[in-house]
Amino acid sequence: MENMYVICRNEGFLDLNIYHVGGYWIWIQFPSAMSCSKFQENESLKRLYSIKRAPMPNFKIDERILWIEVSGLPLCAWGSMAYKKIAGSFGKFLFFEKKEFTALSSGRLCISTKSHQLISKTIQVYIKNVSFEVSVQEIGSWSTKIKDDYNDISSNHDLKEMDHVSESNDEQLIDDFEILQTTNNIDEQLLK
């Protein structure tokens, strides 16, 4: 997700606004309907997403990516195998936080889940036939900032060599509120 601006620029798409909406969803605003249409027809870009939707007022994120904190495991059980088993009770394990200054008595995991309930549970975990009470607490959502570092790159590249896909450089982005009211307009897309 973090590289979407670079990926789009490499395919000739400039003047986009790209936002992380939540979960695995991103929102792309195009400078024109023609630009949006060309994006949808681009075979290389089609491999990047599994679903595309025009933004609608009733759109809801179907999956959350969040951090949970696990505490109460014995020291012999800390590691990715134990993390994966615990994460499997709540969603899909993605990765764990590796910080050398955190206490060994707890760990932080990033998971994806379809549940929209706050996670705050104590579960029983068995290690070598011994039961341990393990506390699992949701501590926040994972998010990424999709950053357009075009200004940094533009100093190293000749801008005249890059093709514009938009109809005109002077076109204005259409206001979000107007798009939500006009469902026929397809110059914005939510992608997953």
Amino acid at 42: N
Per-residue pLDDT of the chain (192 residues; tens, 9 = 90+): 888 999 999 999 988 999 988 888 888 999 999 999 999 999 999 888 888 888 788 888 889 999 999 998 888 887 778 888 899 999 999 988 876 555 666 788 999 999 999 999 999 988 888 898 999 999 988 877 777 877 544 444 443 333 333 333 333 333 333 333 333 344 566 666
Distance between CA atoms of residues 104 and 89, nearest Å: 22
**Residue 171: helix, strand or coil by DSSP?**
coil
Query: What's the fold here for domain 64-141?
Result: Alpha-Beta Plaits (3.30.70)
Distance between CA atoms of residues 18 and 28, nearest Å: 5
Q: pTM (2 decimals)? A: 0.65
Structural domain boundaries in the chain: 4-61+145-191, 64-141
